Structure 1
Amino acid sequence: MTSSPSPALAARLAALTPQQRALLRAKVLRARPQERLTPGQRRLWETHHAIGGRPADVVCQAVRLTGATADLDRLAERVEGFVRDHEALRTTFEETGGEVRPVVHEALPPRLTRSHCATAQEAEALARELAREPFDLASGPLLRVVLATGPAAQEAWLLVVVHNLVFDAWSFEMLLDALDRDAGAPAPAVTPFSRWAREQAAWVAGDAGRAAAEYWAGVVDAPPPPLPTDRPRSGTTARNGNRVAFSLPPGVTAGIAALAKREAASAYAGWLAVAWAALEKFGGHADVLLGTFTAGRDRPGAETAVGYLLNVLPVRLRNPDDGSWAARVRTARTISRAGLRHAAYPGELIDAPRRVAGTHPLFDAVFVFDNLGETTRTLQDAVVSTTDVDKGTARYDLTLAVYPRADGVTGWLEYDTELYEEATVRRLAELFTAAAEEASREGCR
């Protein structure tokens, strides 16, 4: 039940200018009790402060546009419209009495700037500089975009830097879609992140959530020993990092895809089997516990939500049977399918004792598989090529990223420089590429 304002108050409200009403509404919204952080956001918040605001959990993408002259003014308008449409990008985070709450603002424009980049190296350096500038989580904005001209009329750059608290890889693809949407096309459906967060909490508290908790507890029970490091692990790390890049010829992509298809598995399972074999040799144990990313977009409407929906879950690979590639792929297929049935459960809530000091409580290595770029994307008739910029940080002790394409495979190993020497990580990269080539030859037989 609500009461009407007094005549005097009503008169004062009516006399406000539109700008004054907007300010008043913003204050009221900020005064309302807000949703709590999701488990994933809570981890990101704690990590942000534990490492002094370094950009470990920051999306940093350099998008190159070639083959057509981009209208940067129109791109700027589309970026601003995208922020207006999605509440996550108008969110900041306040800490009061030890409790952190997200605050959704009616208006919170992104930081949009213009520049000129003569080379790809210059564009990536600018994006890296933008990412290293500390984010003010309480004031925002948490989205920074640079629109840059290139050395020729038909070349431009879109540099996107945004904190993971409000954005993930799927959100980035949604942004690119919005930038290229026809002006006359109907606006796409939008799911507020806060609604998704409420639904996640309800699911976790229900029967399906309890069943998932039991499943994941079994996955991480009696974990294998951590991977070896060059220097002892301590309770803290600054998450300073470096990357070792690698590449493989086009035939490797086709060979592993064929191997996976033969075992009724996905390409992801094929590459996961390769990662398993490489880490088994590296660590000396057939029992390997990895982290892997899931999109968190299983529930209806989640595919239209911008925010941090990404979930990091454990993958336990053991018992390789006869050690053949077929056996490894079958195991990876079975484990992946079983985990997908419970993939909505937040990895941060999985009940397991911390096994590695100073790292994620469940694992010390993460596997990233991204084949979204297999299809050529255009934006304003320009061809889009995207680079995930190395920020000089490490989200985990080790992250193995693989990007299979028709023209070859690229990838990198990101590592915590407090734990590993570059030579050690290069050896792991060599183990991985050798395993991939061997698995590919098996797939081509």
Structure 2
Amino acid sequence: MTAAPCRADLVARLTGLTPGQRARLRGRIPQVLAEQRRLTPGQRRLWLTQQRLPGHPVDVVCQAVHLTGGPVDLDLLAERVRGFAARHEALRTTFEDGGSGLRPVVHEELPPLLARTRCADADAAHRLARELAAEPFDLAAGPLLRVTLAEGPAPDEAWLLVVVHNLVFDAWSFELLLDELARPADTEPAAAPAFSDYARELRQWLGSPAGQEAAAYWAGEVADAPPPLPTDRPRPADGTSRKGGRVDFTVSRAVTEGIAAAAQHEAATAYAGWLAVAWAALAEFGGRQDVLLGTFTAGRDRPGTAEVAGYLLNVLPVRLRDAGDGSHAARVRAVRTATRAGLRHAAYPGELVAAEVRPARVPGDHPLLDAVFVFDNLGEGGREIQGARADTADLDKGTARYDLTLAVYPGPDGTEGWFEYDSELYDEATVRRLAERFTALAGAAAGAGGRA
């Protein structure tokens, strides 16, 4: 295995590009700085998807938080939600498409849409959250945050339903919101740096030597990319409507601990262990070891970004090619090497990486990525709000952001996860077989301690 590339490696990558690729690479960053003067590349992609699929909740966060084990003051929760939205610039932002082009508009005041109701059970709460997500967002008028607080059938049960457009929010932002709701009464709220400051710093970084090095690295990673995974039906030339479904799966606590232990044995994280299992499953599914996956990064490595609410999430490619002897341990080592190399350049927007691929690898909103891997252990330690246990469910909205998305959520009692699929491309039976194969490979990897 090779170490993370140094500057000489990046120069070698540049040298290996064709004259046309080098010309596009040189010209891309000034073009990006001009085009993305106001929106980040990620926000621009979300906006374009919204325009192509108006009223379709593809890029909408839809979370249901079940509060149990103690009475919760819903008035206080509503007050905290209002305060959180008021402090964070992104949640006071709308988007105007006028003669001067698309631009964000930050309002002095833009209260979230708050409602109160009662829910008889979890099914009713989840159904209500999906209905909130299905209501089209007016990106020009706002607000882009909707929260419903629901009393349960007993005094010690309630629901917090959060629906918000990804243009102003991501998974990390949701955790910041939960932090605020759980904040003790005798403490001050956390600082709220402005999203616009992050966006400006990102534009500056793209034009820096580090940004140019990152562009060269990613151009090399996606050069001669493998074909996308097979589908049950051909991909339409203009992309699909992104209607989708999910196949859920669970993995036992013993297998979860085995995957983590096998990864630790190779000086890697549990993320690398699970990604190695995903690689094995998708390589088998696609019939080739060279697999190109998208993987999520929080986009919060710079000082001060940990407290920024907004869409900082980045989806970058990870190229997995050499499985060595085919063992789980060999795959973990290869994943560790690939992800550590990419981590040095993780601030570079994935949308700009995709823009360098000619022709597009897949049609539609994501011209580079057909399959994405999600690993989320942010809530692994559990959480309490006002003394009540808070359990969060990421709800299926009947949409698919990518052709295939594999999500893995490890917890103290095992791992839950799902395969989300584009139903215009895949049959549920196909994805169900893939999920069964993934869990079988996970069990084999854990049982062998990573040695086979």
Give me the TM-score of the superposition, normalised by structure 1.
Answer: 0.91
1:275 corresponding residue in structure 2? 278
| Partners of 1:288 and 1:91 in 2: CA distance | 38
1:238 corresponding residue in structure 2? 241
Instruction: Kindly provide the CA deviation profile for residues 38-93 of structure 1, in whole angstroms up to 9, marking residues without a partner as x.
Output: 00000000011111231110000000000110000000000000011001000000
| 2:327 is the counterpart of 1:321 | no
| Partners of 2:63 and 2:443 in 1: CA distance | 29
For 1:398, the aligned partner's letter is: L
| 2:296 is the counterpart of 1:293 | yes
Instruction: Kindly provide the CA deviation profile for residues 188-244 of structure 1, in whole angstroms up to 9, marking residues without a partner as x.
Output: 222100000000110111000000000000110101011000110012211101000
- Number of residues of Structure 1 aligned to a counterpart in Structure 2: 412
2:18 corresponding residue in structure 1? none
The gaps in structure 2 that reach 5 residues or longer are 1-35
Instruction: Kindly provide the CA deviation profile for residues 360-419 of structure 1, in whole angstroms up to 9, marking residues without a partner as x.
Output: 111100000011221010000000000001000001110000111121111000001110
1:338 corresponding residue in structure 2? 341
| Partners of 1:396 and 1:181 in 2: CA distance | 35
Q: Pick closer, same or farther for the CA change 1:436–1:98 going to 2, 3 Å.
A: farther
Contact 2:94 2:104 in 1 (8 A): yes
1:433 corresponding residue in structure 2? 439
Regions of 4+ moved over 6 Å: none
1:199 corresponding residue in structure 2? 201
Contact 1:257 1:443 in 2 (8 A): no
| Partners of 2:55 and 2:291 in 1: CA distance | 31
| 2:364 is the counterpart of 1:358 | yes
1:218 corresponding residue in structure 2? 220
| Partners of 2:448 and 2:146 in 1: CA distance | 46
The gaps in structure 1 that reach 5 residues or longer are 1-33
SS of residue paired to 2:79: helix
Contact 1:51 1:237 in 2 (8 A): no
Contact 2:45 2:365 in 1 (8 A): no
Q: Pairwise mapping of residues 183-194 of structure 1 onto structure 2 (< 5 A)?
A: 183-194=185-196
SS of residue paired to 1:373: coil
Q: Pairwise mapping of residues 405-424 of structure 1 onto structure 2 (< 5 A)?
A: 405-424=411-430
Contact 2:145 2:164 in 1 (8 A): yes
| Partners of 1:356 and 1:113 in 2: CA distance | 40
Give me the TM-score of the superposition, normalised by structure 2.
Answer: 0.90
| 2:374 is the counterpart of 1:368 | yes
SS of residue paired to 1:147: strand
1:77 corresponding residue in structure 2? 79
| Partners of 2:350 and 2:67 in 1: CA distance | 36
SS of residue paired to 1:342: coil
Farther-moved stretch of structure 1 (117-126 vs 356-365): 356-365
For 1:352, the aligned partner's letter is: V
Q: Pairwise mapping of residues 24-423 of structure 1 onto structure 2 (< 5 A)?
A: 36-97=38-99, 99-234=101-236, 235-350=238-353, 351-353=356-358, 354-423=360-429
For 2:337, the aligned partner's letter is: T
| Partners of 1:412 and 1:444 in 2: CA distance | 23
SS of residue paired to 2:449: helix
| Partners of 1:179 and 1:378 in 2: CA distance | 9
SS of residue paired to 1:55: coil
1:10 corresponding residue in structure 2? none
For 1:160, the aligned partner's letter is: V
| Partners of 2:69 and 2:239 in 1: CA distance | 47
Deviation at 1:184, TM superposition (A): 2.3
| Partners of 2:365 and 2:247 in 1: CA distance | 21
SS of residue paired to 1:372: coil
For 2:150, the aligned partner's letter is: A
Larger radius of gyration: 1
| Partners of 1:356 and 1:100 in 2: CA distance | 26
User: Sequence identity of aligned pairs in percent?
Assistant: 67
| Partners of 1:259 and 1:173 in 2: CA distance | 29
